[in-house]
Amino acid sequence: MAHALYADQALVGDTMVSDVTLTVDDGWITSITPGRAPNSETAGGIVLPGMPDVHSHAFQRAMAGLAERAGPEGDSFWSWREVMYRFLQRLGPEDVEAVATQLYVELLLHGYTTVGEFHYLHTDPAGGLYADPAELAHRIVAAARASGIGLTLLPVLYQTSQFGGAAPTQGQRRFVLSLDQFSNLYQRLQAGYGEDANIRLGVAPHSLRAVPPDALAAVIKLTDGPIHIHAAEQVKEVADSVAWSGLRPVDWLLQHHALDQRWCLIHATHLTDDETRHLAKSGATAGLCPTTEANLGDGFFPFLEFLGHGGGFGIGTDSNVSVSPVEELRWLEYLRRLQRQSRNLTETSVGASTGAALVRAALQGGATALGRPIGALAPGKRADLIVLDAEHPILTSRSGNLALDSWVFSGNQTTVRHVMVGGRWVVRDGRHPDQDTIAARYRQTIARLMA
């Protein structure tokens, strides 16, 4: 049944407009009209499209804070990875679901309405298949449905530990599937969820070091949905790729595959000028996760150069050390300010709004990366939206682009008042209806894992 939502302010297209009514029917925005329609509901704040989270490993939310101790020979991404391997050996299906549900509620409360779950935990702790090989993927879907968040589910193919086909390590045994096993997994997910308007399926060949070329070529043929892959996150990864093939990871992908809007390259941190230009022109999205990339010491993605060549990006929470979209957006800009010792660099035309530019670009790029009709308030898009509290101290007396600047650059205190996903309110007045029950289950899970 259609219902109308009246907004004093709303981000429609690229413009913050006043005094409009959005009509929503069966989860879709069907019209946006000036003025207040009869019998319309008042939004009660500033209406924005919900932010897409293009890259998440949900189980790692339970790890936040557990890897912040220096090792005997220093610490790096590679030593962090060993901590992660040890942690996940304790996770059972119920634990995966409890952690993911808690995470997804937190994402909603901060303004994300869709998550791209880069799901590589497939088998039991010994590396054996569950009775239903899609058991853990089902748990991710159950978490998304319990929280109400939209989902792009990206099951991961992972087969080798290094470029050139080295066998996986013991720590990686829960990730590993053959091509036949992966195809079976994907077909089960397609049969179970392919008709759900709040779920999109794609594939995620983990990385060039974890997926041999023949397997990569085969797995991307399984789907017409998004294709996500880790690429060039670490300097060592780039050096190993060159030793294996003579090419850097992104250069290898550009030369061997027709990258287009279906592709999202996660991190893509270490790029040459030529790679930056060609990746931007390809139409592929860069999946940037600044808080995780900073936490892991990855390096600096050439953000401004990539934008200058017309590249599109989305933001992701990755290891989920942060659940705030404004923190990710802010650090995209702040890292460049530190590098260049200057300010307002994302959009430099005189009078341009930095916060608004970041929000709009991340909405568009995130929607492309997740392969869903989201990221904009427009007829034909899913009714995935957030309502910012215009009376919150951070936003008081702010309107238009100034409200977006204030939202992005005024700290991590959430100003999200209401959240709608697929035409259904899932957060009202800053609360999820089941957040206490979900949090209690999460605390019990963590207590058991930490015992």
- DSSP characters for 102-167? HHHHHHHHHTEEEEEEEE---S-TTSPPPSSTTHHHHHHHHHHHHHT-EEEEEEEE---SBTTTBP
pLDDT of residue 390: 96
Place of tokens 């898009």: 381
- The sign one gets for the Cα dihedral 125, 127, 131, 136 is positive
Domain presence at residue 444: no
Annotated active-site residue in 251, 318, 384, 389: 318
CA 354 to chain centre: 21
The number of helices, as runs of H, and strands, as runs of E, in the chain is 14, 17
What distance in Å separates the CA atoms of residue 19 and residue 32, rounded to the nearest whole number? Answer: 10
Residue 42, SS3?
strand
Place of tokens 């990221």: 375
Domain presence at residue 445: no
Q: Which amino acid is at 76?
A: S
Tokens of 209: 């070091």
Residue 81 phi, psi dihedral angles, 5° rounding:
-60, -35
Q: Which of 136, 147, 123 has its CA nearest to residue 96? A: 136
Domain presence at residue 450: no
pLDDT of residue 411: 85
Along the 451 residues of the chain, how does pLDDT read in single tens digits?
Answer: 789 999 999 999 999 999 999 999 999 999 999 999 999 999 999 999 999 999 999 999 999 998 898 877 778 888 888 888 988 888 999 999 999 999 999 999 999 999 999 999 999 999 999 999 999 999 999 999 999 999 999 999 999 999 999 999 999 999 999 999 999 999 999 999 999 999 999 999 999 999 999 999 999 999 999 999 999 999 999 999 999 999 999 999 999 999 999 999 999 999 999 999 999 999 999 999 999 999 999 999 999 999 999 999 999 999 999 999 999 999 999 999 999 999 999 998 999 999 999 999 999 999 999 999 999 999 999 999 999 999 999 999 999 999 999 999 998 889 999 999 999 999 999 999 999 999 999 999 999 998 8
Domain presence at residue 18: no
What pTM does this model have? 0.98
Tokens of 91: 């996770």
What distance in Å separates the CA atoms of residue 226 and residue 222, rounded to the nearest whole number? Answer: 11
- The sign one gets for the Cα dihedral 148, 418, 31, 13 is negative
The vertex-269 CA angle with 267 and 274, nearest 5°, equals 120
- The distance in angstroms from the start CA to the end CA of the chain is 49
51-56 and 112-119: which strand pairing? parallel
Q: 251 an active-site residue?
A: no
CATH number of the domain at 422, please. Answer: 3.20.20.140
Domain presence at residue 12: no
User: In this structure, how many other beta carbons lie within 10 angstroms of the beta carbon of residue 70?
Assistant: 8
Domain presence at residue 150: yes
What distance in Å separates the CA atoms of residue 204 and residue 217, rounded to the nearest whole number? Answer: 12
Tokens of 319: 């290891």
Domain presence at residue 1: no
Residue 204 phi, psi dihedral angles, 5° rounding:
-135, 85
* Contact (CB, 8 A) for 65 and 411: no
Q: Which of 150, 161, 158, 213 has its CA nearest to residue 182? A: 158
Annotated active-site residue in 55, 119, 267, 278: 267
Domain presence at residue 443: no
Beta bridge partners of 9: 18, 46
pLDDT of residue 76: 85
pLDDT of residue 71: 77
Domain of 204, in residue numbers? 46-427
Place of tokens 């650059």: 409
Length of the chain: 451
| Overall domain count for the chain | 1
* Contact (CB, 8 A) for 158 and 176: yes
Q: Which of 120, 212, 228, 99 has its CA nearest to residue 174? A: 120
* Contact (CB, 8 A) for 285 and 70: no
Q: 257 an active-site residue?
A: no
